[in-house]
Amino acid sequence: MSSIKPQNDKPKYWRSLDQLEGTPEFEQFLKREFPEAVEEAPTGLPRRRWMQLMGASLALATGAAGCRYPEEEVVGFRYPEEEIAPFSRRPEGRIPGKPEKFATTLTVAGQVCPVVATSYDGRPIKIDGNQMHSLVFGADTYAQAMLLPLYDPDRSQHPVFRDGQDLSRNWDEFTVWWKEESKKLEGGNSSKLAILHETNSSPSVLAQMNEVARKFPQAKWYSYDSISGNTTAGTEMAFGKKLRPLLNLESADIIVDISSDLLGSHATQGKNNSEFAKRRTPENGPMNRLYVVESRFSPTGTSADHRLAVAASQMASFVAELEAKIDAALEAGETKEAPTEKVDILVTAMVNDLITHKGKSVVVGGETLDVETQVRIWRINNKLENLGKTVTFVEEPQLARDNAGSIQDLVAELNTGNVHTLIVLGGNPIYDAPVDTDFAAAFDKTRAQIFFGEYENETSKLSTWHLPASHGLEQWGDAIAYDGSYCVTQPLLDPIFKSKDPIQFLSILAGTPITETLEAVKQTVATTFTSSASEAGWMKVLHDGFIADSAAEAVSVSISDSLNLGDVSTTAWRGGLENAFELIFHPGSATYDGRYANNGWLQELPEPITKVTWDNVVTLSPKTAKEIGVGQGEFLAITANGKTIEVPAYIQPGQAHGTLAVGLGYGRKMAGHVGGFEENGVDPVGVDVGPLRTSQTMLLATEVEAKGTGKQFTLATTQDHFAIDLLGMREIGRRVGELVREGTLEEYETHPDFAKHVVHHPPLTSLWEDQEWMKESYDGHAWGMSIDLSKCTGCNACTIACQSENNVPIVGKEAVSVGREMHWIRVDRYFSGDMEDPKAVTQPVTCQQCETAPCESVCPVAATVHTNEGLNDMVYNRCIGTRYCGNNCPYKVRRFNYLDWRASDDRFDAANKELAKLIFNPEVTVRNRGVMEKCTYCVQRIQNTKIEARAERRAIGANEIKVACQEACSSQAIEFGDLNNPESNVAKAHANQRAYAMLAELNTKPRTRYLARITNPHPWLAPEVPDHGHHGPGEEGHGEHGDDHSHDHAEGEHAEHKEEAKEEKP
């Protein structure tokens, strides 16, 4: 008997269009655990690139300190002789072999991130968020990855003087040169000096800037960021003040996100995620409802209850209609009857929800929206009485010199020929300045250029001097966080290279060099925060990483009465873009604006929605793709402002029609050996879209033309890898609903345990359970994990945390494209529903630590065995690489290290290889080539906590052990602990009604439980709760959601289902 009806041919859930259409590529991934020619190293041209990639972060991240002894060091058969070099004087409190944590602050991707850095015997090995800070929950993905550049041999190692040729210099030589130069710039001549900097967040740096300005009173100051928004301009117009909004999502019942990506790239995403997640668990009080209106699919879009795709250039029109409707509804009351048209229902439902939740709702506009639209959104919030309740405001700190000009002003000034000396503090304007300014030509008109930055880049290569900047973990400093709190940066180590921090550099420019930056920072503290200036106060600041209670006071705002926002059509957005195209420039998920292009961890991290690694793509909706006639991975020729570039297309369901979106920061030609370095023959990663960006179209270009080129490009996406399939392609869509279970709030209220009844299976009996040795009691600890799908946004923070904690290597694009990525925790992303308007759901998957693990029974050398605490141990030094375990794992969470990266890397000398080793976490074995590896619930943390607790003769706290992915998760979707301890969060989560085990019907008894995702749709738009007890086997999978709930409770029905299940599974 077959229960599969024809309508099941089209999967209800799908991961990619390849899958939906059943392309041969996908079929291959499905059939083979290790697809295509995995035994060989890549051949031909890719191999060249492969070898190049082996440097920098790759050498860092793979077995440079392998678990086997390097042969040349072996003396006979004995271990090589090792030296122990103790301190001459050990610092007080330092215990060799015990990691220490320091609170510090990094400025990452334009945001101030309070972090905690872990130092092992003096070398930083991990960066986490500073949970004491009120804006930080979990850890930011970029901030975590900032560890890699610290040990990157590509980082600038000494000052460089370029005078026809590159000359390595030291700082003294620069100081001498600068003395000469500054003589020429004295007094009235100081107008010949121009200084360009990025947005500054540090008061001490501002103090030094003022010192420089004192020495060169007529010097001109300019500020430029490649990526910047309109939030401040919006508040200035709406409220007459430069303000920063702070959201209070926990008290918002209704959230409308208008392309602000609240849970993804938003300025306060950590706090947002945490507060949003608190309202997403139905058992802990009423749920909130999230409407997302956006142009391209964002992580917030995946979490939305309702999502509407509107073209970016028509967002103003949408907001205008929203305001008009709210105005009308505030007069006339809520609409009782649901309209008939789908978009109308959604908008009317949104308006109804908003006006019935006055003071308990929030409409958030993205910073990329134009100023008028932002003002309109503040006006809506004002009408809904949300200001001061769900959104408060703090004043923007004044951290730039007055009258700092824009890059356009700078170019104009340069073109007059009046500027002799140009100082560039960070950034990379040659690469990312608006193309219409022709910055490079203007740059050339100066006599001397000084570039100060961490890496050599396009700008430094054209400058007279390149001065290396220290890494954030190598310097003293300070910064004002988004909420106005004063944060301190403290060094974990002396600069590895001959670099200086910005405060030191500016003080050299000012002619009064500071040797101890610490004193400059203390000076700032003493002048601003007298209470923290005492020794005890200062120690507390260093301990906390910020000054408690230094956050800015909320200011009360009143919306300006004299707003004239002009007439915006309220209907234009409904028509869509028709035949026109628009192009959104968004921060590259790996590169931000290009500054992280050389960071291998970020490059290999799959983009949350497209799952593309090592490239940028132009995303477009399936309908748009069809109109243009472009296929997946085909180069799309995009023309804007008279220039054309070719970018590989990625067909992204759910994107607004006519909207093209492309990531910035790729196509770097002088980033380094990972991100592209033309001088050394390393091709750029991705495509530089800079040529299309003009001063007017930095974030969004309209009047764009696009056409296919017919040229195909290989994209390294991870979404089809490690495909879990039970009965093959025909079944997969139906089955995904069993892997990732979701339901509506109504459904949950009717049947709280619906998730447990998605799959019915015969009683599970084991062939071996009678055996004495199979009877594990787990009466000590029983480690377990729970992952709440209601909270997960698929942001990838867990993947990076795991990579850093567990010495997980990166493998490069070619390897990823054949399915050899090494991430121990992956985030699966599934779409469901209509291809043009899909819903999305994400699910982190890592080793489930099955109690009856299928991998264990097939290992011929007992390299993977079970512990009496329920962990599925992986003994790397026993593994001989048969890969049987990987084949037998139904969750596809085992990873195999195919290539030995260290053997062939000859570009870096021994000293740099030694440097690269420093990043490793010494608590975790560095795996060699040919070894299977996987998650073991951070067993090193479990063991160390156990040892510590037992030495102190105490029990392990209920939630004392935190695994790396759990720590990084800002929405606290992941819980870990002892299932035998009823007090632990994980035991409570496993007892939750929503808990289910993935593929439990295979009798694997996984230790990881997922909590089903609950959505809270508006009643008008909610799918019907499945009618129970009437369906036969053929009717499974009805309704929009398609998750085949068969949660009937009648005994007879149960039995019937078991029968069916038996027949289904041969």
* Binding residues vs other proteins (CB under 8 A): 65, 67, 69, 76-79, 81-90, 95-98, 780, 865, 867-869, 871, 873, 875-877, 923-926, 936, 939-940, 942-943, 947, 950-951
CB of 500 to other proteins, least distance (A): 24
Residue carrying structure tokens 């250039």: 313
Both tokens assigned to 192? 């010949």
Cα distance between residue 381 and residue 43, in whole Å: 59
Cα distance between residue 611 and residue 622, in whole Å: 17
- CB closer to other proteins, 741 vs 927: 927
CB of 942 to other proteins, least distance (A): 8
- CB closer to other proteins, 646 vs 851: 851
Cα distance between residue 404 and residue 213, in whole Å: 12
CB of 922 to other proteins, least distance (A): 9
- CB closer to other proteins, 722 vs 783: 783
668, 702, 424, 494: which is closest to 585 by C-alpha?
702
- CB closer to other proteins, 123 vs 133: 123
CB of 810 to other proteins, least distance (A): 21
**Strand-pair partners of 582:** 659
* Eight-class DSSP state of 137: S
Q: Annotate 475-540 with DSSP letters as a single string.
A: --EEEE-TTS-EEEE--SS--SSS-B-HHHHHHHHTT---S-HHHHHHHHHHHH-GGG-SHHHHHH
CB of 891 to other proteins, least distance (A): 19
* Eight-class DSSP state of 364: E
Query: What type of residue sits at position 51?
Result: M
CB of 770 to other proteins, least distance (A): 24
CB of 904 to other proteins, least distance (A): 22
- CB closer to other proteins, 950 vs 1065: 950
CB of 861 to other proteins, least distance (A): 12
- CB closer to other proteins, 74 vs 412: 74
- CB closer to other proteins, 525 vs 942: 942
Residue 112 — φ and ψ, nearest 5°? -85, 120
Cα distance between residue 591 and residue 665, in whole Å: 5
Query: What type of residue sits at position 301?
Result: G
CB of 875 to other proteins, least distance (A): 5
- CB closer to other proteins, 814 vs 967: 967
- CB closer to other proteins, 95 vs 910: 95
Cβ atoms < 10 Å from Cβ of 20: 18
- CB closer to other proteins, 88 vs 562: 88
Cα distance between residue 1049 and residue 1029, in whole Å: 8
Q: Which helix (H) or strand (E) holds 783?
A: strand 783-788
CB of 129 to other proteins, least distance (A): 24
Cα distance between residue 697 and residue 690, in whole Å: 11
- CB closer to other proteins, 574 vs 946: 946
458, 427, 431, 919: which is closest to 672 by C-alpha?
458
- CB closer to other proteins, 85 vs 911: 85
Both tokens assigned to 602? 């970020």
Q: Are strands 676-677 and 391-395 parallel, antiparallel or unpaired?
A: unpaired
C-alpha to C-alpha distances, 1044 to 170, 179, 828, 1025, nearest whole angstrom: 69, 76, 20, 11
Secondary structure, 3-state, 388-416: CCCEEEEECCCCCCCCCECHHHHHHHHHC
- CB closer to other proteins, 84 vs 767: 84
The dihedral over CA atoms of 632, 634, 640, 644, expressed in degrees to the nearest 10, equals 170
The dihedral over CA atoms of 195, 198, 204, 207, expressed in degrees to the nearest 10, equals 30
Cα distance between residue 204 and residue 725, in whole Å: 57
- CB closer to other proteins, 125 vs 609: 125
- CB closer to other proteins, 257 vs 805: 805
Angle at 246 between CA 243 and CA 247, to 5 degrees: 140
Both tokens assigned to 581? 């195209």
CB of 157 to other proteins, least distance (A): 24
- CB closer to other proteins, 876 vs 884: 876
HSE at residue 1043, side-chain half, CA atoms within 13 A, is: 27
CB of 606 to other proteins, least distance (A): 27
CB of 949 to other proteins, least distance (A): 11
Both tokens assigned to 1046? 């068969």
CB of 877 to other proteins, least distance (A): 5
**Strand-pair partners of 120:** 123
Residue carrying structure tokens 């670099």: 499
Cβ atoms < 10 Å from Cβ of 629: 10
Question: Helices 517-528 and 203-215 sit at what angle, rounded to 10 degrees?
Answer: 100
- CB closer to other proteins, 671 vs 782: 782
- CB closer to other proteins, 32 vs 954: 954
CB of 851 to other proteins, least distance (A): 14
Query: What type of residue sits at position 919?
Result: I
Burial class (CB in 10 A: 0-12, 13-18, 19+), 337: exposed
Q: Annotate 278-327 with DSSP letters as a single string.
A: HTS-GGGS---EEEEEESS--HHHHH-SEEEE--GGGHHHHHHHHHHHHH
CB of 804 to other proteins, least distance (A): 16
CB of 262 to other proteins, least distance (A): 38
Using DSSP, state whether 563 is helix, strand or coil. coil
CB of 964 to other proteins, least distance (A): 13
